[in-house]
Structure 1
Amino acid sequence: MRPAPGEVLHFSEDPTIKHFAPHVAPTSRHSEAYVWAVGPDRCPDFWFPRACPRAMAWVGPRTTEHDAARILGAGCGPRVHAIEYGWLKPIMNVRLYAYRLPAGTFKPIGDPPTAMVSTVPVTPLGPPEPVGDLLALHEEAGIQLRVLDNLWPFWDEVITSTLEFSGIRLRNARR
């Protein structure tokens, strides 16, 4: 599930959104109100239930072969997503939807960019589309999905490596 040219996607478990208004998310580090979306490269970060903690790592331009083999594994693809066992059933059962939004008012945010934001209201290009089987999406994209007892040891290794990484909803991970 990726956007077409000229589009960005917003993933949600709510299939009833008719209009996206800029707002300050309670967990945001930014004080400006935004409508949040993602381009094709960051869509896999959101193939999860909203509250699911996930640690993600992938090969970047400065990644060493040693770190890639150590964290991703020998013979594995260039990207891994890790979740905890308690989230496997929710991932298999969630009804996730993708809203296609016109990309025109969206600008990248973050360095490097991690999302796309708009400061003006946005109307979806059509009804939300069911995302479908999240495990199948990972498989089709060649992304390893690891199920761990606890994310923190993996996360600690990832953030001290040369891999690129992102952690979402880690506050929901087991302590």
Structure 2
Amino acid sequence: MLPGPGEVLHLSEDPAIERFVPHVAATARQPEAYVWSVDALNAPCYWFPRQCPRVCSWGDGVDRVHAVEDAWLDAMRTTRLYAYRFAAADFEPFGDRPHAHVATRPVSPLGPPDEVGGLVRLHDEHDIELLALPDLEDHFADVRERGLEFSGIRLGNAGIGPAGPFPTRR
């Protein structure tokens, strides 16, 4: 599930959003209110349950790899995710090396959301290796040491699966 030309996506577990209003996300590192979206490069980093910690990496001549804790595999298989399409012109790149795009005013999707389908299957269809690891710490350190492009999302939830706390392995 990727955006088409001139589009960006917002991926959500909620299939009933009709209008997106800027807000300050609970995990935000900035005080401004935004509607967040992603482009084709970054959309695969959101093919996960919302709270799932993950490390996504890629680079020149290196296959794309996404890693999750094995405690999240069942949620990867059962979560229903929806893609909302927006006109890219309604959004601006966020930051110097944009990983996301933001709108500072309310925006409406181009149409009803598309159900993304099986998240594990989606990775396979796009030739993205999906690793399930006991924990993400060593993998994330390796990705950074190798100088790969990466995105680490919801890492504060590492060690916590969808059913509650799991022991953190250190």
Q: TM-score, normalised on structure 1?
A: 0.88
1:92 pairs, out of 74, 77, 85, with: 77
Identity of aligned residues (%): 53
2:133 pairs, out of 144, 148, 154, with: 148
2:116 pairs, out of 131, 152, 156, with: 131
Q: 1:150, CA displacement in angstroms?
A: 0.7
Counterpart of 1:134, as a letter, is L
Counterpart of 2:155, as a letter, is L
1:30 aligns with 2:22: no
Spell out structure 1 runs of 4+ moving beyond 4 A.
Answer: none
Match of 1:72 in 2: none
Deviation per CA, 1:100-140, whole angstroms, max 9, x where unpaired? 11211201113311001011110011111100011111111
Counterpart Cα distance in 2 of 1:162 and 1:152 = 16
Match of 1:10 in 2: 10
Deviation per CA, 1:128-175, whole angstroms, max 9, x where unpaired? 110001111111111100000011111111122211111000011123
Counterpart of 1:133, as a letter, is G
Gaps of 5+ in 2: 160-167
Counterpart of 2:11, as a letter, is F
1:119 aligns with 2:114: no
Gaps of 5+ in 1: 69-77
Q: TM-score, normalised on structure 2?
A: 0.90
Counterpart Cα distance in 1 of 2:31 and 2:145 = 29
Deviation per CA, 1:7-26, whole angstroms, max 9, x where unpaired? 11000000110100011111
Q: 1:94, CA displacement in angstroms?
A: 0.3
Counterpart Cα distance in 2 of 1:52 and 1:5 = 28
Aligned residues: 160
